[in-house]
Homo-oligomer: A and B are copies of this chain.
Amino acid sequence: MMFLRIEFRWHIPIILPPMNPLPVVQTQIPPDVIDLGLGNPPLSLLPLDLIHTSAQKILSQNENSFLQYGTEQGDGYLRAALADSLSKGYEFSVHAENLFITAGISNALDLLCSLFTKAGDTILVEEPSYFLALRIFADHHLNVIPIETDEHGLVPASLAGTLASASPKFLYLIPTFQNPSGHTLSQERREQILQLAIKHNFIIVADEAYQLLHSSGEKPPKSFGAYIDSQRVIALGSFSKILAPGLRLGWMQAHANILNRFANSGLMDSGGGLNPFTSAALRGAVASGGLEANIGKLRLRYANQIAVMDEALHRHLPQAKYILPHGGYFFWLEFPEAVDVSELRKRASNFKVDFRPGALFSSKSEMKNFMRLCFVYYEAEQIEEGVKRIAVCLNSM
């Protein structure tokens, strides 16, 4: 139903400084450089209208409890709407009482380290893994052991081998459309890894930022949220890649016993929920189906961009090997061993292009001949042009 609303309101104009010398966004790219390394969505895909309508709804009601200290587990309306939406997206029942609203996955990882580990504790990660998660673990002085992966994700035999001598607090996994590799952990391996977590009593922390971003008709295996009854799983979701990163909003899905450890922390007791205002502002966007519509739009667009990047790579960089991703954000290119991608990057600015070298994602200073490219940030012509520039840069070596 749509209707015409006529508003008569007194508005007090707010004057903002016309010019602001201080930055707003995290990454400033020189306008003539194509940075295929960036892992951000472009501004054109951040749905201001949807968020505006949703926020307007809550702000214009005569009710302001979302301005008070929020409940530790997060806004009840948002959790109820999110549980409904995830139940559809994940194709299994997600319950609001198993959701805990966070200020994004990075925030959840930081809290997890604070509450579940001490300096010197061992944790396990995939080799390669998301380099900024590795930075968070380093800030907490954790002992990080990398576990081998292949095109089907983490190798359970390698994990079992490590567990013979290590007692990790948790295993950090990006199971679906992994960052950086784009690979997806197979269903069979998910179950094997869960059995190992039960046997060796560690938690699987599944960073599922890309779980809903499958670009082909074929869906990835179910979210690790399907296994929370084991009490060995924390599945981390985020609005950053399916709505907007600036919201700093995400969720944990876990057994109540695990969520209670977060809810009863000093931080939560003192500050209340992690983001009540933004949660309330998004209630409508989730409850109305606007979030799902946005995800649908992203899937179509990203499928097209994957095809464009695939074609550009075939045309300009035939020496790069890769497995075509079916979702997420990234292509993971393997070059002949002689190519040191970190060295290549030093020349890249001369060619007005950038990318991320594989070594950045390695806990063992390996992956030197790998390169991560992101297909979501640029339009088709720029993707093609960026890949071409990388080829020219490579040929100049």
Contact = CB atoms under 8 A, between A and B. Distances in A.
Given A14-B57, A46-B64, A70-B246, 16 more contacts: A5-B10, A17-B77, A17-B287, A24-B71, A24-B280, A26-B70, A46-B67, A48-B59, A68-B246, A103-B248, A104-B271, A106-B267, A135-B266, A245-B271, A248-B277, A277-B281
19 contacts: A2-B11, A7-B7, A14-B285, A24-B68, A24-B75, A25-B272, A26-B68, A51-B67, A52-B60, A68-B245, A106-B270, A118-B119, A130-B270, A136-B267, A139-B265, A139-B266, A248-B273, A248-B275, A248-B277
A140 interface: yes
A200 to B, nearest CB: 23
B3 A11 contact: yes
B270 A68 contact: no
A363 interface: no
A114 B118 contact: no
B248 A276 contact: yes
Given A76-B21, A114-B139, A274-B248, A27 B69 contact: yes
Given A20-B80, A64-B46, A106 B4 contact: no
Contacts of A20: 76-77, 80
Interface in A230-250: 240, 244-248
A68 B43 contact: yes
Contacts of A280: 24, 246
Contacts of A111: 110
Contact of A53 (B14, B52, B137, B272): B14
A17 B111 CA distance: 31
A275 B70 contact: no
Contacts of A283: 16
A306 interface: no
B56 A23 contact: no
Contacts of A217: none
A324 to B, nearest CB: 27
Nearest first, the 7 closest Cβ-Cβ pairs linking A and B are A22-B76, A135-B266, A132-B270, A14-B284, A106-B271, A136-B266, A67-B244
Contacts of A115: 139
Interface string A131-161: 0111111111100000000000000000000
A139 B240 CA distance: 28
Nearest to A5: B11
A166 to B, nearest CB: 20
A272 B287 contact: no
B114 A267 contact: no
A336 interface: no
Contacts of A278: 275, 277-278
A97 B290 CA distance: 38
